[in-house]
Structure formats: structure tokens, C-alpha cells
């Protein structure tokens, strides 16, 4: 079993829809990261959070430490949001490294 | 700062050849990470450095893989000899502190034929 699990693996949506991507982890963490990877492109860090909620534009990330769960929400989705979204955690045990989920591929159609 | 710079962006080589991937981290970042991304396994950490010193190379798949960081502004990942199963996208990332926000390069897409 992977230490970081994401769901769904693939997601399609119509422009304007509200989107939720989930991440569950099984290790104690000091931080959780959400990353975005566009087709053929590099990887960009969207959020790093250790508690509560963070918002940036139409993106919202939440984390529940007790339940070991995080969600990434996209409001009013747009085709340019189409990308792979990757959840990663910084474990408490070895705090230098990230453990990655396998990613959620999102396609938003006009 | 221009961000993390990797070269080349694409590399096609024949099996058995030596391949060298290069990375320039963001100035002032003390940590440098090499990752490999494949469809099957996603992102995998190969090795990381702190202040130019290799800290954990347990992710390096075989002795064919080696990485160096001769100074704070340059690192290489070398595969010798290369094999078709090494085909993947290799990312370099740097961060100011370990486990904090990492900044990724654009990646090197390696194809070994």
C-alpha cells in the first residue's frame, strides 16, 4: 500500500464545475504539498500546508491532520486547469524528503 | 532568479551509451533533489544533497547511476551504461530547507533506444 494515496486517478469536468481531489496518507507528517504538472511541462508547487486551509485564487487546499486527509478544490474550473495534480507529504521521521502520491489527471472541457 | 535550470530538455541515446543530465539549482538553496518520473511509478526520489553532500542515495536504482554536486550551483546525474528501461523524465528540484517548498526544473525527457 502506498503511503500517499490520491483519488480519483482521472477526472473529467465541464468548464465551470467545482472540482475536488483527495489525498490520504498513512505516515505522520510535518507538511503536505500540492503540486501541479501541465502536459509536457515542469512541476509547480501550489500549496504547502500543515493545518487548516489555504486559498490562492480559485484553488483551495484543506488538511485534516487527525484524519490524515487533504483535499484540493478548484472553483469555477477552466480548461487551463487541465493538468496532473500531485499530493506529497514531508514525513516527520525524515523531514528532508517528500513522499509522492501517483497524481490525479484532470481534464476540463469547454 | 531564473529558477532551477536543467539541461538538456530532451535526450535520445542508444542503449549502452553514457548519459549526463545537468542541473543548476536556485541560488541560496541548500537542498538539491533528483527525481525520476515514469507512468508506472510516478515520481521517485533518486538522491538528494544538502550543502553539496549526498545525504540519501537509496533511491538510485543501480550502480549504473551516479550523481555529483561539485559546488553549490551545479549537479550532474550520470547513467553509464544506459538501458531502455531508464527512459523517463528526470527532474531536478531545489529547496531552501529540506521538506519545505521545492522548486522543480522543467525536466529532462530521456529516451534510450
How far from the centroid of its chain's Cα atoms is residue A5's Cα?
Answer: 10
Distance of CA B47 to CAs A29, A48, A96, B14, B33, Å? 20, 22, 11, 24, 6
Q: Is A49 on the interface with B (CB under 8 A)?
A: no
φ, ψ at B15 (rounded to 5°): -50, 135
As a whole number, the mean pLDDT across chain B is 94
Contact B43 A100 (CB under 8 A): yes
Of B82 and A42, the one with more pLDDT: B82
**Residue B7 buriedness (CB in 10 A; 0-12 / 13-18 / 19+):** middle
- Tell me, what DSSP letter sits at residue B9? S
Instruction: Please say whether the beta carbons of A11 and A19 come within 8 A.
Output: yes
* 8 A C-beta contact, residue A25 and residue A93: no
Task: Give the model confidence (pLDDT) of B8-43 as tens digits.
Answer: 999 999 999 999 999 999 999 999 999 999 988 889
Q: Does the beta carbon of A43 lie under 8 angstroms from any beta carbon of chain B?
A: yes
pLDDT confidence of residue B40: 85
- Evaluate if residue A51 carries a pLDDT over 80: yes
Checking if the pLDDT of A1 tops 70, the result is no
- Nearest Cβ partner for B106 among A41, A86, A97: A41
Contact between A42 and B45 using a beta-carbon 8 Å cutoff? no
Closest chain B C-alpha to A90 CA, distance in angstroms: 5
Give tens-digit pLDDT for A80-95. 999 999 999 998 877 7
Amino acid at each position: 500500500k502506498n503511503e500517499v494515496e490520491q483519488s480519483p486517478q482521472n477526472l473529467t469536468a465541464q468548464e465551470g464545475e467545482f472540482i475536488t481531489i483527495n489525498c490520504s496518507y498513512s505516515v505522520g507528517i510535518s507538511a503536505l504539498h500540492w503540486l501541479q504538472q501541465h502536459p509536457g511541462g515542469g512541476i509547480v508547487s501550489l500549496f504547502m500546508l500543515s493545518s487548516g486551509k489555504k486559498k490562492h485564487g480559485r484553488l483551495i487546499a484543506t488538511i485534516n491532520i487527525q484524519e490524515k486527509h487533504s483535499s484540493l478544490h478548484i472553483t469555477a474550473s477552466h480548461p487551463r486547469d487541465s493538468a496532473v495534480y500531485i499530493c506529497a507529504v514531508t514525513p516527520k521521521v525524515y523531514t528532508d524528503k517528500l513522499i509522492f502520491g501517483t497524481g490525479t489527471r484532470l481534464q476540463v472541457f469547454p | 532568479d531564473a529558477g532551477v535550470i536543467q539541461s538538456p530538455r530532451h535526450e535520445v541515446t542508444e542503449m549502452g551509451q553514457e548519459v549526463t543530465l545537468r542541473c543548476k539549482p536556485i541560488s541560496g538553496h541548500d537542498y538539491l533533489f533528483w527525481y525520476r518520473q515514469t507512468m508506472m511509478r510516478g515520481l521517485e526520489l533518486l538522491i538528494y544533497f544538502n550543502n553539496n553532500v549526498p545525504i540519501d542515495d537509496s533511491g538510485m536504482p543501480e550502480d549504473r547511476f551516479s550523481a555529483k554536486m561539485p559546488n553549490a550551483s551545479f549537479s550532474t546525474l550520470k547513467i553509464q551504461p544506459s538501458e531502455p528501461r531508464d527512459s523517463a523524465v528526470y527532474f531536478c528540484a531545489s529547496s531552501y530547507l529540506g521538506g519545505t517548498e521545492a522548486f522543480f526544473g522543467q525536466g529532462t525527457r530521456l529516451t534510450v533506444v
